[in-house]
Amino acid sequence: MAERSQSHIALMLGNVNDGKPVNQRRSWKRVWNGLSRFQKNLIFTLIAAFIFTIFFLLPQHNQQNAHSDDGRASHHRINNQNVVQVAKQVSAFEANQYENDEKSRDDDQPAKNREPSERENRPLAKPNNINDMNKSFRNNFVMPEADDDAENEMIDRPNVSGGVKETAKDFKGPTNDRQRATVEAFKHAWRGYKEFAWGHDNLKPISEGYHDWFGLGLTIVDSLDTMYMMDLQDEFDEARNWVDQHLKFDVNRDVNLFEVTIRVLGGLLSSYHLSGDKMFLEKATDLGNRLLPCFDTPSGIPYSDINLETMKAHAPKWSPDSSTSEVTTLQLEFRDLSYSVGNPIYEQVVSVINRKVHELNKKEGLVPIFINAHTGQFREYSTISLGARGDSYYEYLLKQWIQFGKKNDDFLIEDYKTAIDGVLNLLVKRTPKEKHLYIGELINSKDFKPKMDHLVCFMPGTLILGFKNGMPESHLNLARDLLETCYQTYMYQPTHLAPEITYFNLNGESETDMYVKVNDAHNLLRPEFVESLYYFYALTGNKTYQDMGWEVFQAFEKYTKVKQGYTSIGNVKNVLNTRPRDMMESFWLGETLKYFYLLFSDDRNEVDLEKFVFNTEAHPLPIREIQ
């Protein structure tokens, strides 16, 4: 490393020339003219900071003290203009920091085989400049009121001293016919996407077009780690180069904080951890900085949407409330970003959410599906469900605890155990004839409804993961029975594909234990049941779960495969009239086929669940041992 030259400033005060004082004004002028441009800029910066402190920060502090009774909301608020400015400064600094390495990187070499650059051979630094830029953000960011120990834990725990050096993980590719069939399914879908929707969010395989949701190439980013695991090196390199050259976040478009976090931020971080390619981390950091203003709310509960260019966040247009699952399913990704780049700010903002939701009143640990970012309170009398808008809250309680080696976040795992007890007490019922166990909903937080979304079928996998990490046997029993019911939601239908929603016979209203309403008969290529099968296989080694998955995979092949990819269908109840919907969501490649591939592996530890935790979009992030 080249030595830096040092400049010295000599201040001449009170010198005497021939017994006469030197003209003070002219001495200062000579001193000023002798300063370098950097030194002058530094002095201007210090003066501006002093003026800002006097005229902005101190009055704000006094005003908060004067109105403490009616200013509780402002106590938690981050100044949005300050957040945006800090985030832009951090992004600009990091772009400059990485610029030289970007120029020297050889994009023509495959990411897994190329020689690491000089930067990649050293740990990711935590430049003091980033700390300085974020200092004003942290000073204005006030944690929600809590006991001193809890507050200190949230603030002090991300004592990150630098980024993590990642080395590429090797995957050997498919080793049996079922895995090879899954890879062929992926390649078939990828060819259609590449030809007709390249760079766009989703493929419309029947009309040979595309659908853009956020304009961020969701299918590419969501699929990166799937291709890496399948050892599809050419496809991975092609996608990697698109991300490097074309994925830009300064787009004048509103995006959903939750969806972009789990798909794009999670996909970039996972690809970084698996491949060791720092380009993915740089992109993830830029995105994380642009999402920070979402957390500038009176309560610390984030807004649901943000414009990535203007960095202005707001509540959803359809409601003043955010979905509970959305605001509580950001933590794995933001915490991982903090530890990957050595900057605690990302973990701090999501820790506020954890603490805030922990302190709210619940119904035996169960949460309503709507929460308000301004008040920080649940919507009164809203539905309690483990399906849409509630599901991944419970998933992330457990997985955050696992993410840091089960050594911290005790209140999260206690909330998880309390919630599962609440599920068993309030939501679990069995059908009258065949005794299928299912998880229903509470309408208005009190009236039971025998309705279960397909989304709930993530729960068996989460429950058995919890059991393997020390949760009680009652969780395992619930997981087994619920997995069987989810399997039957597929087998009950002539297509052997599950509907979006299944109803269960509660009071003799149906001749069968399960029934499906016309408007709920669609299948969107969702991954949740395959996800749970994967966890059961990976954690038990029982190949029965592979056979169950193979039946479902063959049904997808038969009823959803079209010439240019795979499509969601509108009717699982009629093999002659499936009503194709002309849409291939990014999660088909990012989640469903990935879980099929891992489920069919001869090596059930192909992704070691002692070392990785999957986010809710099936992107594996490392488990960290926090001292």
Q: What is the pLDDT of residues 359-418, one digit of tens each?
A: 999 999 999 999 999 999 999 989 999 999 999 999 999 999 999 999 878 999 999 999
Instruction: Tell me what pLDDT residue 457 has.
Output: 98
Catalytic residue, chosen from 528, 531, 585, 617, is 528
Instruction: Tell me what pLDDT residue 425 has.
Output: 98
Question: What number is the average pLDDT over the span 209-231?
Answer: 98
Does the annotation count 391 as an active-site position? yes
pLDDT for residue 437 is more than 80: yes
Look at the block and give the residue holding tokens 């005790």.
410
Instruction: Tell me what pLDDT residue 282 has.
Output: 98
- CA 268, 272, 273, 276: dihedral to nearest 10 degrees? 170
Please give the Cα distance from 230 to 275 (Å, whole number). Answer: 13
Question: What number is the average pLDDT over the span 291-318?
Answer: 96
CA distances from 565 to 73, 118, 233, 369, 579 (A): 49, 41, 20, 34, 16
Instruction: Tell me what pLDDT residue 5 has.
Output: 37
Instruction: Tell me what pLDDT residue 43 has.
Output: 73
Strand partners for 256: 305
pLDDT for residue 339 is more than 80: yes
Instruction: Tell me what pLDDT residue 53 has.
Output: 57
Instruction: List pLDDT tens digits, range 457-481.
Output: 999 999 999 999 999 999 999 999 9
Catalytic residue, chosen from 94, 166, 235, 259, is 259
User: Percentage of the chain with pLDDT > 90?
Assistant: 70
Instruction: Tell me what pLDDT residue 57 has.
Output: 47
Catalytic residue, chosen from 500, 513, 591, 617, is 500
pLDDT band at 318 (very low <50, low <70, confident <90, very high): confident
User: Percentage of the chain with pLDDT > 70?
Assistant: 74
* Of the candidate ranges 113-122, 422-431, 494-503, the one whose mean pLDDT is the lowest: 113-122
CA distances from 460 to 192, 327, 350, 384, 414 (A): 33, 23, 26, 18, 19
Does the annotation count 259 as an active-site position? yes
pLDDT for residue 9 is more than 80: no
What are the residues whose beta carbons fall under 8 Å from the beta carbon of 56, sequence distance 6 or more?
none
pLDDT band at 46 (very low <50, low <70, confident <90, very high): confident
Instruction: Tell me what pLDDT residue 317 has.
Output: 87
Question: What number is the average pLDDT over the span 76-103?
Answer: 47
pLDDT for residue 419 is more than 60: yes
Instruction: List pLDDT tens digits, range 148-190.
Output: 443 334 333 444 434 445 667 889 999 999 999 999 999 999 9
Question: What number is the average pLDDT over the span 292-318?
Answer: 96
pLDDT for residue 129 is more than 90: no
Cβ 154 vs Cβ 351: under 8 Å = yes
pLDDT for residue 208 is more than 80: yes
Please give the Cα distance from 189 to 367 (Å, whole number). Answer: 38
CA distances from 247 to 84, 282, 608 (A): 21, 12, 30
Instruction: List pLDDT tens digits, range 509-551.
Output: 888 999 999 999 999 999 999 999 999 999 999 999 999 999 9
Catalytic residue, chosen from 94, 120, 282, 391, is 391
Cβ 429 vs Cβ 504: under 8 Å = yes
Angle value at C-alpha 461, between 458 and 467, nearest 5 degrees: 140
Instruction: Tell me what pLDDT residue 274 has.
Output: 97
pLDDT band at 625 (very low <50, low <70, confident <90, very high): confident
Strand partners for 208: none
